[in-house]
């Protein structure tokens, strides 16, 4: 998923005229500053293949796990003052990190910001909460509306950022409001009427971070809700390559129909480059056979795009987000 969650701050990066030695020295300082900034975990040179669902990617120079909103605000404000590039990470689904990794600070919300609570027929979930956990909570409380999202491996924040959808339903259909943090740490709340959702996207200023979402559901019989969850789960198992690491659907569905259909018709199911392969179960998935590199995955994506355009005249648009040093 594009998570935003994965939303970068403006103003990051190294200014023109700084030489490499100066840049490396300042990044070392940034690492030391990160160590003392929060009580949550801080890791250095963390291999992103451990934090992405497709299991590829080079190291993040600094990976921070703020334990709550106060710590996140502290990180964001400090990074803004120091002009440190920041990348917000969910569960690393729908994400490919290049082999050279990510400069600056990667901030994960998955260890401290994942609470869920109930307010009548509205569920409120923090950005780091897994979507699957939210669906399970709704089943326990007898609230219907989230069943199609069971099995989507992302977080609430990532799901909202990309307007995640499955089986004809999108998160925009059940959202009540979203709470966000601006680049200066200010927190704002936007009701559904002030949110602009498009296909696989929530339009926000690029530096804003999703903190939590409130979902308007409906009361229902727990047994019936659970049956629908099981039905969607079985369909997912039958149609998707869940036994291999992947980043989910690679391409958005174009106006002409499902992306997987066009990829399949070009004969690319099972086609591979190194350890990256177009799934023979669902052509819109690229799977990691075990030791794939990000370069292999990206080369395969480019090959698929070229073949579909040459043979079908259709331009595929990527759903996965690609980040890191080229």
What domains can be seen in the chain, in order of their start residue? 20-108 (3.30.43.10), 116-238 (3.30.465.10), 242-323 (3.90.78.10)
- Alpha-carbon gap, residue 122 to 143, rounded angstroms: 9
**If we measure between CA atoms, which residue out of 75, 66, 176, 59 comes closest to residue 113?**
66
Are 98 and 298 in contact by the 8 Å Cβ rule? The answer is: yes
In sequence order, the β-bridge partners of residue 165 are 170
When comparing pLDDT for 114 and 24, which is higher?
114
pLDDT of 63-84, one tens digit each? 999 999 999 999 999 999 999 9
Sign of torsion over alpha carbons 64, 70, 74, 77: positive
> What does each C-alpha distance from 192 to 159, 169, 270, 325 come to in angstroms?
15, 16, 42, 35
Top-confidence residue, 3 or 273: 273
Residue 175 is encoded by which pair of tokens?
């959202």
Q: How far is CA 56 from CA 37, 268, 294, in A?
A: 28, 22, 5
Place 21 in a pLDDT band, splitting at 50, 70 and 90: very low
More confident residue, 43 or 33: 43
In the structure, what pLDDT confidence band is assigned to residue 167 with cuts at 50, 70 and 90?
Answer: confident
Task: State how beta strands 102-108 and 59-64 pair.
Answer: parallel
Q: Among 171, 133, 129, which residue's Cα sits nearest to residue 150?
A: 133
Q: Which structure tokens are listed for 275?
A: 């350890």
**Does the predicted TM-score (pTM) go above 0.75?**
yes
Structure confidence at residue 121 (pLDDT): 97
User: Are 142 and 226 spatial neighbours (Cβ–Cβ below 8 Å)?
Assistant: no
How far, CA to CA in Å, does 58 sit from each of 12, 23, 53, 100, 280?
19, 19, 14, 5, 27
Q: Is the pLDDT of residue 8 over 80?
A: no
Residues 28-60: b if buried by 16+ CB within 10 A, e if exposed: eebeeebeebbebebbeebbbbebbbbbbbbbb
Distance separating alpha carbons of residues 103 and 304, to the nearest angstrom: 29
More confident residue, 165 or 3: 165
* CA distances, 229 to each of 14, 46, 152, 159 (Å): 47, 35, 12, 18
Q: What is the pLDDT of residues 179-214, one digit of tens each?
A: 999 999 999 999 999 999 999 999 999 899 999 999
Residue entry with tokens 């909103």: 69
Residues annotated as part of the active site: 200, 249, 319
User: Which pair of structure tokens corresponds to residue 13?
Assistant: 């990066």
Contact criterion met (CB below 8 Å) for 109 and 71: no
Report the greatest alpha carbon distance in the chain.
Answer: 64
Q: For residue 268, give the nearest of 321, 230, 308 by alpha carbon.
A: 308
């Amino acid at each position: 998923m594009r998570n935003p969650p994965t939303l970068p701050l403006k103003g990051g990066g190294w200014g023109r005229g700084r030489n490499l030695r100066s840049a490396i020295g300042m990044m070392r300082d940034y690492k030391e500053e990160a160590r003392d900034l929060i009580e949550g975990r801080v890791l250095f040179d963390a291999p992103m293949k451990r934090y992405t669902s497709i299991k590829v990617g080079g190291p993040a120079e600094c990976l921070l796990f703020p334990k709550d909103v106060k710590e996140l605000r502290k990180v964001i404000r400090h990074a803004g003052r120091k002009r440190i590039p920041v990348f917000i990470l969910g569960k690393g689904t729908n994400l490919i990190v290049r082999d050279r990794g990510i400069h600056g600070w990667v901030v994960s919300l998955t260890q401290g910001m994942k609470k869920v609570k109930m307010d009548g027929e509205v569920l409120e979930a923090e950005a780091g909460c897994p979507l699957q956990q939210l669906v399970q909570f709704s089943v326990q409380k007898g609230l219907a509306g989230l069943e199609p999202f069971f099995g989507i491996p992302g977080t609430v924040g990532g799901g909202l950022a990309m307007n995640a959808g499955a089986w004809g339903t999108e998160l925009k259909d059940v959202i009540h409001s979203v709470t966000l943090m601006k680049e200066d740490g200010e927190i704002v709340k936007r009701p559904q009427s002030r949110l602009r959702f498009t296909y696989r996207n929530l339009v926000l200023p690029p530096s804003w971070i999703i903190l939590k979402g409130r979902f308007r559901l409906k009361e229902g019989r727990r047994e019936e809700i659970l049956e629908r969850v099981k039905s969607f789960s079985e369909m997912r198992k039958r149609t998707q390559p869940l036994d291999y690491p992947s980043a989910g659907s690679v391409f958005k569905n174009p106006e002409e129909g499902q992306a997987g259909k066009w990829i399949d018709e070009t004969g690319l199911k099972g086609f591979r480059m190194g350890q990256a392969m177009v799934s023979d179960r669902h052509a819109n998935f690229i799977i990691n056979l075990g030791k794939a590199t990000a370069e292999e995955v990206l080369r395969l994506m480019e090959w698929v795009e070229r073949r579909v355009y040459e043979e079908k005249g259709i331009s595929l648009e990527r759903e996965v987000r690609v980040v890191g040093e080229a």
